[in-house]
């Protein structure tokens, strides 16, 4: 069975075509960029062959998805004969609000609810909705499944998801912590349990998704009980360009004292802050290089980044009353032994002992055999989860 996985952004679409029988094989994957902008193109990588970049005028998402279909059936770099072979499409949807606690087959009611949640995720849900609408239009009759970044965190208790705000804001406007990156956190936490050879439901696990965006989640016996992102993906640790936690009064100060407008404040907190705000760069590889060359603010940015992560891990150890495994994933978490080491340097009080050689060799378990807490690096695979959920839902119908 063929499942197409789509992650639709405002000017880009990431895709992967999976063949599912007894195992999952990626037949092709790719990225369409600059949709609606000059210089739009599609980078398409068929399994076992070189990537091809096709420059093509793509005025909108419909044209972009049509270009993906063309690439998939192309006689030169295609991997299937006909798009009708695709049995289902799985969509990443960022915000599922409180309605969606798991992945779901999309019908008009579901689509309306996703539209309703767009006010909580104005940057993310609208392009996700567009992705669903164009795939319904271009592949009529093919079932679509929504997989939500927020769903796994719906198990958080009230004490974790409520803010200390007037309760009407929650009841009337849904203002609460939702959390994001759920597909990734859930995947790596379950993989960690498998690697440790223990049921997920018996473990206390802290997962650190550290990419350009980042978040930390506490899993207690298989359930997310707290996570660092909030109503939006702005809360939590210091990220590439996002501030993470700040005193909310800073927003008032910016507006009242410095005359910064609402949209400038939004831009400042989401796009000009975090690592970029501290040292001018948001790519961690550049920052590490500059710090090694003695650039003071690059080192400060690394220190702030690691310190905030340590504080979250420490608080989640308290929330969980102990921890069996601390798991690192995403761009920074998967590729930087140096940063993993810096983050974990304060946890010897838990009986955590690192095997630095294993860490530097990027091994999945990089704590010593006698360590009381497992330190782990697991590569995330959100697309695989979306493909699995889509397959499960459409075969159960
Ligand atoms: P993601 O959003 O998951 O793609 O992660 C992107 C982030 O991972 C960027 O900040 C990259 O600089 C960072 N990254 C990737 N490889 C490395 C590496 N070897 N060392 C440090 N950071 C890395």
Query: Confidence band (pLDDT; 50, 70, 90) for 384?
Result: very high
Nearest protein CA to atom 9 of ligand 1, as residue:
283
149 is catalytic: yes
Count of residues making up the chain: 397
pLDDT of residue 123: 80
* Residue percentage of the chain with pLDDT more than 70: 100
- What average pLDDT does the segment 291-299 reach? 98
Which is higher by pLDDT, 355 or 124?
355
Answer yes or no: is the C-beta of 335 below 6 A from any ligand 1 atom: yes
Token pair listed for 339? 């940063």
SS3 assignment, position 244: coil
What is the C-alpha R_g of the chain? 22
Q: Whole-angstrom Cα distance, residue 282 to residue 243?
A: 12
pLDDT of residue 124: 86
Which atom of ligand 1 sits closest to the CA of residue 209?
3
pLDDT at 219 over 90: yes
pLDDT at 133 over 90: yes
Phi, psi of 170, rounded to the nearest 5 degrees: -75, -50
Q: Where are the beta strands (DSSP E) in the chain?
A: 2-8, 13-20, 24-33, 41-46, 52-55, 86-93, 104-105, 144-148, 204-210, 214-220, 223-227, 325-329, 374-377
pLDDT of residue 63: 96
pLDDT at 146 over 90: yes
pLDDT of residue 337: 98
Bridge partners (DSSP) of residue 28 are 17, 46
pLDDT in tens, 239-275: 999 999 999 999 999 999 999 999 999 999 999 999 9
Which atom of ligand 1 sits closest to the CA of residue 330?
3
Domains and CATH numbers, the chain: 2-148 (3.30.420.40), 197-377 (3.30.420.40)
pLDDT of residue 314: 98
Answer yes or no: is the C-beta of 299 below 6 A from any ligand 1 atom: no
Global pTM value: 0.95
pLDDT in tens, 183-200: 999 999 999 999 999 999
Which atom of ligand 1 sits closest to the CA of residue 336?
20
Q: Whole-angstrom Cα distance, residue 241 to residue 284?
A: 11
Average pLDDT of the chain is 96
Q: Whole-angstrom Cα distance, residue 336 to residue 302?
A: 12
Task: Give the residue among 320, 322, 313 at the shortest CA–CA distance from 346.
Answer: 313
- What average pLDDT does the segment 104-109 reach? 97
pLDDT of residue 104: 98
pLDDT of residue 33: 95
H/E run at residue 266: helix 262-271
pLDDT of residue 107: 97
pLDDT of residue 301: 98
pLDDT of residue 119: 85
pLDDT at 122 over 90: no
Mutate to test the pocket of ligand 1, among 215, 331, 361, 378 (most ligand atoms within 8 A of CB): 331
Mutate to test the pocket of ligand 1, among 188, 275, 281, 332 (most ligand atoms within 8 A of CB): 332
Answer yes or no: is the C-beta of 360 below 6 A from any ligand 1 atom: no
Contact between 29 and 71 (Cβ < 8 Å): no
Residue 34: CA count within 13 A, CB half-sphere: 11
């Amino acid at each position: 069975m063929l499942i197409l996985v789509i992650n639709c952004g405002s000017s880009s679409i990431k895709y992967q075509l999976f063949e599912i029988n007894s195992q999952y094989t990626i037949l092709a994957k790719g990225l369409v960029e600059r949709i609606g902008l000059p210089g739009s193109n599609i980078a398409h990588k068929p399994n076992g062959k070189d990537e091809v970049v096709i420059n093509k005028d793509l005025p909108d998402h419909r044209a972009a998805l049509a270009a993906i279909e063309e690439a998939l059936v192309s006689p030169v770099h295609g991997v299937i004969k006909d798009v009708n072979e695709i049995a289902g499409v799985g969509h990443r949807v960022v915000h599922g609000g409180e309605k969606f606690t798991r992945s779901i087959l999309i019908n008009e009611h579901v689509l309306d609810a996703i539209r309703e949640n767009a006010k909580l995720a104005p940057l993310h849900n609208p392009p996700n909705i567009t992705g669903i609408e164009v795939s319904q239009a271009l592949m009529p009759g093919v079932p679509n499944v929504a997989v939500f970044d927020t769903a796994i965190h719906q198990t958080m208790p009230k004490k974790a998801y409520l803010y200390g705000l007037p309760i009407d804001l929650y009841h009337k406007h849904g203002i609460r912590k939702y959390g994001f990156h759920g597909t990734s956190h859930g995947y790596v936490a379950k993989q960690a349990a498998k690697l440790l050879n223990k049921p997920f439901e018996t473990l206390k696990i802290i997962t650190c998704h550290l990419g350009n965006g980042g978040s930390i989640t506490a899993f207690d016996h298989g359930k997310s009980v707290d996570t660092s992102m909030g109503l939006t993906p702005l809360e939590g640790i210091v990220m590439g360009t996002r501030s993470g936690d700040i005193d909310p009064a800073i927003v008032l100060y910016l507006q009242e004292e410095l005359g910064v407008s609402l949209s400038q404040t939004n831009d400042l907190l989401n796009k000009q802050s975090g690592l970029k705000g501290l040292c001018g760069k948001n790519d961690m590889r550049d920052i590490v290089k500059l710090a090694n060359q003695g650039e003071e603010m690059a080192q400060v940015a690394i220190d702030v980044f690691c310190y905030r992560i340590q504080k979250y891990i420490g608080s989640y150890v308290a929330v969980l009353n102990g921890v069996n495994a601390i798991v690192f994933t995403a761009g920074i978490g998967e590729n930087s032994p140096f940063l993993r080491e810096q983050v974990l340097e304060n946890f010897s009080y838990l009986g955590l002992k690192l095997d630095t050689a294993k860490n530097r060799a990027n091994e999945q378990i990089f704590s010593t055999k006698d360590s009381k807490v497992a330190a782990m690096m697991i590569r995330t695979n959100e697309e695989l989860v979306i493909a699995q959920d889509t397959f499960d839902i459409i075969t159960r119908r």
